[in-house]
Chain A
Amino acid sequence: MIADIVTIVGKELKEILNARGNRRGGIVSILIFAGMFGIYLPLMTGPDWVQTPASLFYWIWLPFLMVSGVIADSIAGERERHTLETLLASRLSDTAILLGKVGAAIVYAWGLTIGIILISVVSVNLAFGLRDGTFYVYSPMAILATLVFSLLIALFSAGLGILVSLRAETVRQAQQVVSVGFMVIFIPVLLLAQFLPQETVAKLIVWAETANWTLVGIIAAVIFAALDAVLLSLSKARFQRSKLILD
C-alpha cells in the first residue's frame, strides 16, 4: 500500500510540475512563491519576520493556497483528460489512489512551505543577521506550531478539495467550486475581525495576553485533525470505482 501511494505521489508531482505545459513553467511558479515569501517579504519586514508570531499566519495560509491550486485537478483532471478509467482498471486500490492524490498535494504544498521558511530564515540572516552579528531564528515552539498547523491546514484544504474534485465534471468547475468554498470560509472570518465591537476586541486582546497558548494550540490542532479525518473519510466513501466510471 505504501509503495502504491508513493508511486501515485511521484506521478502527481511530475504532473504538477508540468501543469503549465513544461517543467520550466512549474519551476517558475515555485520560484515566484519562493521569491515573494522567502526573500521579498522577509527583507521588507526585517528580523521581526522570525521573531514575532505574525509571520506564522503566512506559513499556515501558504500551504492552504498551494494545495487549493493543485487539488482541484487531482480527480477532475484525470476524468477530463480521460486517464482515470485506465488508472482504475489497474491493480491499485481505491485507498492507494486517493491517499496518493492527497499525499502529492500535501508533499508539494507542505514541502515547499518548509523550503520557503528555510529560505526566509537564510534571507533574514544574510540581510540583517550578518550586520547585527545575531542568528535570527524562530523559537522552537513557533517552529513546532508552524509545522503542525501548516500540515493540518494543508490536509484540511486537500480534504475539501478532493471531495469537490471527486464530484466535479471538469477541472474548471472544480477550481471554481474550490475558490468559492474557500472564500466562504475566509471572508466571514475577515469580516468578523473588521466589524467586531471595540469592547469585544479589547476583551479578546486581554484574553490573548493571558491565554495558555500551548493549550489553545493543542485544542485547535485536535479540532483540525478531527476535521481532516472527517473530510478524508468522506472522500474515501465517495471514491468508488463503479461511481467514478459512470460520472
Chain B
Amino acid sequence: MTFAIRTQALSRSFGPVRAVDGLTMDVLAGTVFGFLGPNGSGKTTTIRLLLGLLDADGGRAEVLGFDTQSQADEVRLRCGALLEHNGLYERLTAEDNLVFYARVWRLPKNERDERVKSLLTDMGLWERRGEQVGKWSRGMKQKLAIARTLLHRPKLVFLDEPTAGLDPIAAAALHEDLINMAQREGVTIFLTTHNLAEAEKLCREVGVVRKGKLLAVGALDRLRAQAGGPRVEITGRGFTPELLDKVRSLPDVTEASSENGKLTIRLGQAIETGPIVNLLVTHGAEIEEVRKGKANLEETFLTLMNEETSEEAQA
C-alpha cells in the first residue's frame, strides 16, 4: 500500500486556539479522501500545513514521501491546490490564466498549448477561452480553477470546499467532472468539505475533524458501522413507551426511538428483524412497512460530533 499523505501528531496553534491538534492519519494513494468537519474545524489549516505553506508547531507530515517542512518545495512541485478561493486572475482571460500557470509549472510550449486546449475542452470552456474570467459565473470559475489545478498532472490534488456556493446543478456537474478527472488523471484527491452528500458521493475514505482533532478516519462503511451501525425503520402505529423499552431490552439493540409513526431501531450488528417484528405485533403494534438500512454519512457525522460534545461536557 502506498500512502500519498502520512501525518503523525501534526499540530498548529494560533495563539490560544489549537487549529490542528495532534492529527495522525494516512491517505492511500490514488483515492479520493474526504476531510470533513464544520466551519473552523481546521480543514484549511491542515491543507496549508500539508502544502508546507505553514510551519507545524508539533508533529510531522509527509506528502508523497517528502517532509512538508524541510522539503516543502518538493511537495508543492508535485501537488495541485484549489484552495478556499479559486485564485483566478479575473482581469485575465481563461486562456491567459492557464497559460500563466502552465509556464509556472514549466510545461514545454507544445505540451502547454495542447494541455490548455485539452483541459478547457474537457471542462466545456474552450469556446470562451478569450473572455475575462471576472465576467464568468461562479460555476465556470470553479471549473477553470480545477483545470488549472490539474495542468501539470499533479500526483496529489487538494480541493478545499470546491463546490461551496455553487447551485445544485453546477455542483452536480462539478462532481462528475471531478470523478472523471480523478479516474482519467489517476490522481489522489484530498477533498475538504462540510457537504456530507458530496463526500458520500465522491470519497472512498474520510476523516472527520472537529476543533482541530481527528474524531474518526477510515472507509465510509467502517465509519458508518462505528458510529451508527445497521438500523431498522418500521412504519406503523402503537409504538408505546413501554413497547420501546421492551425493544431496547433485546440483545444487540443499541437505541430505539419513535417519531410520527416511525420507529427507528439502531443495532449493534446486522441481525434478523423477525424477532423484533414479532415482539411489536405481539404487544399490539400495527406494522405497515419494515426497512433495513445503514446510517448515512450525515448521521454518522452527527453522531461523531455529538460524542465529542458529550466528552467535552463531561471533561
- Do B53 and A91 touch across chains, with their CB atoms under 8 A apart? no
CA of A81 to CA of B91 in the docked complex: distance in angstroms? 10
Of A12-20, A36-44, A128-136, the one contacting chain B is A12-20
Question: Which residues of chain A are within 8 angstroms of B55 by Cβ–Cβ distance?
Answer: 242
- Do A14 and B92 touch across chains, with their CB atoms under 8 A apart? yes
Q: Which residues of A77-93 are within 8 A (CB) of B?
A: 81-83, 85-93
- Do A83 and B87 touch across chains, with their CB atoms under 8 A apart? yes
- Do A83 and B89 touch across chains, with their CB atoms under 8 A apart? yes
- Do B77 and A11 touch across chains, with their CB atoms under 8 A apart? no
B25 within 8 A of A: no
B245 within 8 A of A: no
- Do A242 and B92 touch across chains, with their CB atoms under 8 A apart? no
A4 in contact with B87 given A89-B51, A242-B55 (CB within 8 Å)? no
- Shortest beta-carbon distance, B244 to chain A, in Å? 52
What residue of chain B has the Cβ atom nearest to residue A26's Cβ? Answer: B91
Count B interface residues, CB 8 Å. Answer: 31
A241 within 8 A of B: yes
CA of A91 to CA of B66 in the docked complex: distance in angstroms? 14
A15 in contact with B92 given A86-B87, A91-B76 (CB within 8 Å)? yes
Question: Which residues of chain B are within 8 angstroms of A126 by Cβ–Cβ distance?
Answer: none
Q: Which residues of A150-207 are within 8 A (CB) of B?
A: none
B136 within 8 A of A: no
- Do A245 and B92 touch across chains, with their CB atoms under 8 A apart? no
A18 in contact with B54 given A7-B100, A90-B76 (CB within 8 Å)? no
Q: Which of B53, B77, B83, B85 contacts A242 (CB 8 A)?
A: B53
CA of A231 to CA of B118 in the docked complex: distance in angstroms? 43
Q: Which of A14, A81, A87 contacts B90 (CB 8 A)?
A: A81
- Do B83 and A91 touch across chains, with their CB atoms under 8 A apart? no
What residue of chain B has the Cβ atom nearest to residue A19's Cβ? Answer: B91
B81 within 8 A of A: yes
Q: Which of A82, A91, A241 contacts B104 (CB 8 A)?
A: A91
A208 within 8 A of B: no
Could you write out 13 A-B pairs with CB less than 8 Å apart?
Answer: A3-B103, A3-B106, A10-B103, A11-B92, A15-B91, A19-B91, A83-B87, A83-B88, A88-B53, A89-B81, A93-B73, A241-B53, A245-B48
